[in-house]
Structure 1
């Protein structure tokens, strides 16, 4: 029964978070699931990773995306495709109200409070902020392939961890 439910769930849309990968034209997506431990009768988190076909590079590391199973596997690893980016990283939206959030408060509430008490010049203005990715290649290296450096070589690779 549980095996049939797991197979059926893979055919539908899944919601997951994009994590770093070195694969070309593919994104690695972490889907969080809860598994029931029948001895303790408690649910524990179990992460599943899917490689998804993403030739347009829609998602970046940290984005919440919607994925769907492909009718046929592209490769041995790539079994799903990225349908859309639901929530880009850094631009947090409350899923119930659809309002933008900064920390624990709505952005519009922060703006109303700033108008009531007088706006400070040092306050951050979200309307004038550039979109995510404008520092790509300068200070933002999330689009570059990363790997763990185990040996020290003469050449210094800036993308190694």
Structure 2
């Protein structure tokens, strides 16, 4: 990609996925791009990482978000800001129809089938399910800082990878 094309791409909105980070008031976003190999004439995936200003903690790990470059850098690393969360993690929406999806089927089709054949008591009800994040600190540790454990110490840190 040419230098002018890269500069123009940084001014527009970028779509990426939020990944774990240890920075405070910032989110680390992975943007997937395709890069042309001139010798093979094939495109290969190249991931670029951006640190985005997110003081409200709008995005969590795994969310698909829109980011936009800031007019001036906040710090040496933070160059973009989170505009909005497009798709929250775990709540999958078909982008064409706008319907909610569970596995490979639409949720409303699953509900219609359960009405026809009788609803099982053990079936999951999406309408009564609490929103994502209600187990934060109990079973959901995505908000905790993660890091790679390089040394073994006597005390065990549950957030180390």
TM-score bucket of the superposed structures, by smaller chain: over 0.9
Matching of residues 4-153 of structure 1 within 5 Å? 4-153=4-153
Name the CA distance, whole Å, in 1 between partners of 2:101 and 2:118.
21
> After alignment, is 32-41 or 42-51 more displaced?
32-41
Extract unaligned runs of 5+ from structure 2.
none
For 1:126-147, what per-residue CA distance to the aligned partner results, in whole angstroms no more than 9, with x for missing partners?
1111110000000000000001
Poorly superposed stretches of 4+, deviation over 4 Å? none
Name the CA distance, whole Å, in 1 between partners of 2:49 and 2:152.
30
Name the CA distance, whole Å, in 2 between partners of 1:2 and 1:119.
57
- Normalised by the size of structure 2, how large is the TM-score? 0.97
Name the CA distance, whole Å, in 2 between partners of 1:47 and 1:157.
29
Extract unaligned runs of 5+ from structure 1.
none
